[in-house]
């Protein structure tokens, strides 16, 4: 009977030792996983900050593009205005040139 009790006690002690080792391993695994999770959270936070910065840069670039488009449109409008002015002046010059030619022709005709 004593031998049996010692055997059961040794078996239980061995089981307790195995369970304690598994618990220690599990706790180490938990610490490792917690550290990995923290690292991933930090990486995710850094990526979110970088994403926000890129969005801000994108907004700034869009603003610059819009500004350049407004400037281009303004210059295009100014060019159109100048072209109309040139056309009007060319028409006036052509009319004056014709009037001068008519006077020259009349002078030659009536001499």
pLDDT tens profile 19-52: 999 999 999 999 999 999 999 999 999 999 999 9
Among the listed residues 85, 58, 64, 59, the one whose alpha carbon sits nearest the alpha carbon of residue 72 = 64
Torsion of CA 50, 54, 60, 63, to 10 degrees: -150
Query: pLDDT-based confidence at 97, cuts 50/70/90?
Result: very high
- Dist CA 57 CA 28 (whole Å): 43
| Cut 0.85: pTM above it | no
Residues 6+ apart with CB under 8 A from 44: none
pLDDT the model gives residue 4: 87
Q: How far apart are CA 6 and CA 8, in angstroms?
A: 5
């Amino acid at each position: 009977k004593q031998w049996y009790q010692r055997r059961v006690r040794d078996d239980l002690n061995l089981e307790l030792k195995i369970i304690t080792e598994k618990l220690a391993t599990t706790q180490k695994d938990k610490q490792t996983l917690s550290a990995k999770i923290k690292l991933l959270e930090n990486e995710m936070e850094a990526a979110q900050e970088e994403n926000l910065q890129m969005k801000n840069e994108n907004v700034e670039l869009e603003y610059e593009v819009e500004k350049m488009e407004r400037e281009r449109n303004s210059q295009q409008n100014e060019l159109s205005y100048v072209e109309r002015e040139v056309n009007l002046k060319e028409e006036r010059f052509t009319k004056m040139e014709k009037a001068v030619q008519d006077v020259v022709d009349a002078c030659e005709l009536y001499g």
